[in-house]
């Protein structure tokens, strides 16, 4: 059970570095990654897998369903106001390829380096409870649709990007990024309607 502190902010690059440091062996368990991310906040637990799914990692069969399950568990507990994150043991034991995760982290480092300096506390009422509830509900809805997009990696990556925006906004209390996330939702819905006809 990971203890979280939603009053603590952290840099996105710090989170990526922490995940990268955990990938020394051939495989790493989801539980171990959650423990590392959970030292920061619920938002960082949400951001970690969302950022990884923005990358080509989303094309690995089964990964969208695992991601969707984790998002439902995280966001559901955020909406309930829990102070500790609970994850079922069968999900905690699931192991992921360290090489794939390291590749995803490498893919993200450069864009994060450019975006991170732009982040700051502003319009905080949108990024803290209860102002962030609409964003969290949207994350839930996206996750419920996730398994349907199993064979549409582009849509999964776009959905993960939207969730990443919301997670970053909550993490650093940047309400402007929440607004960017809402705009991303509109774009994602338009693409989803196009793909599903």
State the average pLDDT over residues 152-172.
92
Domain-wise residue ranges, the chain: 2-196
Average pLDDT rounded to a whole number, residues 169-174: 92
Strands 2-3 and 84-85: antiparallel
Overall average pLDDT of the 17-41 stretch: 78
Say what the pTM is: 0.83
Question: Contact, 11 vs 17, CB < 8 A?
Answer: no
Closest CA to 173 of 121, 132, 129, 138: 121
The per-residue pLDDT for range 38-67, each reduced to its tens digit, is 645 688 888 888 988 888 887 788 888 888
Segment 107-127, tens digit of pLDDT:
888 888 888 999 999 999 999
- Mean of the pLDDT values across residues 183-188? 96
């Amino acid at each position: 059970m990971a203890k979280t502190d939603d009053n603590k902010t952290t840099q996105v690059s710090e989170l990526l570095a922490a995940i990268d440091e955990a990938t020394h062996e051939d495989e790493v368990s989801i539980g171990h990654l959650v423990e590392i991310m959970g030292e920061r906040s619920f938002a960082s637990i949400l951001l970690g897998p969302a950022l990884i799914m923005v990358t080509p990692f989303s094309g690995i069969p089964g990964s969208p369903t695992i991601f969707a399950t984790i998002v439902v568990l995280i966001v559901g507990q955020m909406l309930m106001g829990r102070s500790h994150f609970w994850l079922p043991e069968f999900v905690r034991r699931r192991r992921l390829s360290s090489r794939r995760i390291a590749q995803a982290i490498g893919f993200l480092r450069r864009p994060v380096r450019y975006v991170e300096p732009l982040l700051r506390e502003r319009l905080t009422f949108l990024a803290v409870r209860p102002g962030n509830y609409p964003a969290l509900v949207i994350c839930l809805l996206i996750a419920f649709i996730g398994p349907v997009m199993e064979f549409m990696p582009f849509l999964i990556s776009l959905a993960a990007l939207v969730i990443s925006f919301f997670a970053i906004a909550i993490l650093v209390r940047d309400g402007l990024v929440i607004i960017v996330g809402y705009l991303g939702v509109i774009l994602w819905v338009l693409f989803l309607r196009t793909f599903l006809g």
